[in-house]
Amino acid sequence: MKDIVPPPPGIVRNDAFEIQSLFQRNVMPTYGRLDLVLSHGSGSQLWDVAGKRYLDFGGGVAVCSLGHAPAAITEALVEQSRKLIHCSNYYYHAPQGRLAEALVNLIGPGKCFFSNSGAEANEGLFKLARKFGQEEGRFEIITALNSFHGRTLAAIAATGQEKIKKGFYPAVAGFRHVPYNDLAAARAAISPATAAILIEGIQGESGVTPATAEYLLGLRALCNEKNLLLLYDGVQCGHFRTGRFQSYQRILEGVPGGEMFRPDAISMAKSLGGGFPMGAFWVRAPHADLLSAGTHGSTYGGNPLGCAVALKILSVIQHEQLDQNARATGEFFQTGLQALVTRYPEIFREVRGLGLMIGLELSADHALLNAPGKAAALRFTNSLQAAGMLVIPTGTHVIRFLPALNLRRAEVEEGLQMIAAVAAELAVG
């Protein structure tokens, strides 16, 4: 006869711990992840597996253009998946053709190629530049220091940050880096082998630095003069984030000659798919057929699901005037942040950006914030997370806000209060 033993105490479920251990055991440690296990979201709100609510001002790093779990995307996915989920690029289908037309209408005469990510879209730009210069033996692409263009071998070669290339040499040949917003440096870097110049409209990973109007117009004139392609990485700063479809349209607003400006090619991704992995690049009319049949391709690029989603996102942005929202809510947010910079000069150095692409630079002098062991940007990000707000740290001293384009004013007010609370704590600290 067995003793009657009481059942063991119920194990307290700790999903966060269990999920994190799954990662530790099975997922490569390529990301410096924050201590947060997410469960679900709605609009600009997210909940972790323990039920705590967060305001999401990172937007999946500029991806979730309509916020989390938007009904419009769910509907587009369901509707399209009932018809055709995948279609090889051996054939034609409506969503890809319609999306290409929509992008051409937004940018200008030209053609599109579809990829699955930003790095792949940039890869297309590199191949375009090589094809463009091939017969004359030109292949070099000038890019900017502190840029970010993705993680493939060519994209890290294009990226002007040593930390991203380290460990992966030899680099793909043919990239030269020059200081951003420095037209004379770009001119000086041109060699007989140069085929193109590639810049971001607003450098994101380096702490949110917009190109100046003079730089954009100067690069256009320089590329015309030297017969180079002007390539524009709009992966992070594009898709209405600044209030206009592409950031150059916003930067050049009201600038004489600005309406005439157009790069020769533009890469897109992130907000384009709103969370569905997709990328694209647009090429201006005279060069749009350079990548001819058989020269470039992608199995999933331009698949019906992704294109249906991207089309739906464009129509929601248009119907709900989210370009105007990005501009107005972004300005409201920047004004609020500026007030905090003025109130806490010992904590904040500067706020910069356009629309809903904003960087807040932290002071390098504040002792507590700059205590050894952790970068100030990460420390501030951790404190904001504890307060219930998610942001993206970049570099050592900048936190980035890249929220959904349908972010509400009330959410901005709540977010500002959280930032103010963290600052107040540091100020007495």
Task: Kindly state whether residue 411 participates in binding ligand PLP, applying the rule CB under 6 A.
Answer: no
Q: Which is nearer to ligand PLP, 119 or 290 (CB)?
A: 119
Asked if residue 149 binds ligand PLP (CB under 6 A), the reply is yes
Which residue's CB is nearer to ligand PLP, number 273 or number 415? 273
> How far apart, in Å, do the first and last CA atoms of the chain sit?
65
Question: Least distance from C-beta 241 to ligand PLP, angstroms?
Answer: 11
Residues 6+ apart with CB under 8 A from 291: 113, 124, 127, 128, 131, 283
Q: For the CB of residue 164, give the shortest distance to ligand PLP in the complex, in Å.
A: 11
Q: How far is 59 from 61, CA to CA, in rounded Å?
A: 5
Beta strands at 194-200 and 140-144: parallel, antiparallel or unpaired: parallel
Instruction: Determine, following the binding rule CB under 6 A, whether residue 119 of this chain makes contact with ligand PLP.
Output: yes
Nearer of residues 60 and 340 to ligand PLP, judged by Cβ: 60
Stretch that binds ligand PLP, among 104-112, 115-123, 287-295, 311-319 (CB under 6 A): 115-123
**To the nearest whole angstrom, how small is the minimum distance from the Cβ of residue 277 to ligand PLP?**
8
CB of 152 to ligand PLP, least distance (A): 8
- Region near ligand PLP per CB under 6 A, out of 15-23, 111-119, 216-224, 418-426: 111-119
The yes or no reply on residue 204 touching ligand PLP (CB under 6 A) is: yes
Question: Residue 247 is encoded by which pair of tokens?
Answer: 């950031």
Answer for which of 56, 123, 200, 361 binds ligand PLP (CB under 6 A) is 200
**Least Å from the CB of residue 13 to ligand PLP:** 34
Q: Using the rule CB under 6 A, is 148 a contact of ligand PLP? A: yes
Q: Does 118 bind ligand PLP (CB under 6 A)?
A: yes
309 touching ligand PLP, by CB under 6 A: no
Distance of alpha carbon 176 from its chain centroid, rounded? 23
- What count of residues does the chain have? 429
Tell me how far, at minimum, the Cβ of 355 lies from ligand PLP, in Å.
15
Cβ 369 to ligand PLP, closest distance in Å?
Answer: 26
Print the SS3 string covering the chain: CCCCCCCCCCCCCCHHHHHHHHHHHHCCCCCCCCCCCEEEEEECEEEECCCCEEEECCHHHHCCCCCECCHHHHHHHHHHHHHCCCCCCCCCCHHHHHHHHHHHHHHCCEEEEEECCHHHHHHHHHHHHHHHHHHHCCCEEEEEECCCCCCCHHHHHHCECHHHHCCCCCCCCCEEEECCCCHHHHHHHCCCCEEEEEEECEECCCCCEECCHHHHHHHHHHHHHHCCEEEEECCCCCCCCCCCCCHHHHHCCCCCCHHHCCCCEEEECHHHCECECCEEEEEEHHHCCCCCCCCCCCCCCCCHHHHHHHHHHHHHHHHCCHHHHHHHHHHHHHHHHHHHHHHCCCCEEEEEEECCEEEEEECCCCCCCCCCCCCHHHHHHHHHHHHCEECEEECCCEEEECCCCCCCHHHHHHHHHHHHHHHHHHHHC
Site string for ligand PLP, 265-284 (x = CB under 6 A): ----xx--------------
Strands across the sheet with 348-354, in order? Answer: 348-354, 357-362, 398-401, 392-394
* Position of minimal CB gap to ligand PLP: 118
**Is 236 among the residues that bind ligand PLP (CB under 6 A)?**
yes
- Tell me the closest approach of the beta carbon of residue 309 to ligand PLP, in angstroms: 15
* Between 241 and 262, CB nearer to ligand PLP: 241
> Interface with ligand PLP includes 58 (CB under 6 A)?
no
Interaction of residue 306 with ligand PLP, rule CB under 6 A: no
Is 205 or 361 the residue whose CB approaches ligand PLP more closely? 205
Structural contact between residues 107 and 232, judged by C-beta atoms closer than 8 angstroms: no
Please state at what angle helix 71-83 crosses helix 304-319, rounded to 10 degrees: 140
233 interacts with ligand PLP by CB under 6 A: yes
238 touches ligand PLP by CB under 6 A: no
Among 150, 207, 304, 355, binds ligand PLP (CB under 6 A): 150
Minimum Å gap between C-beta 238 and ligand PLP is 9
**Position 261 contacts ligand PLP (CB under 6 A):** no
Considering only the stretches 232-240, 252-260, 341-349, 389-397, report the one whose residues sit in contact with ligand PLP under the rule CB under 6 A. Answer: 232-240
Q: Residues 65, 80, 96, 117: which binds ligand PLP (CB under 6 A)?
A: 117
Among the residue ranges 64-72, 114-122, 253-261, 394-402, the one whose residues contact ligand PLP (CB under 6 A) = 114-122
Residues binding ligand PLP (CB under 6 A): 117-119, 122, 148-150, 200, 204, 233, 235-236, 269-270
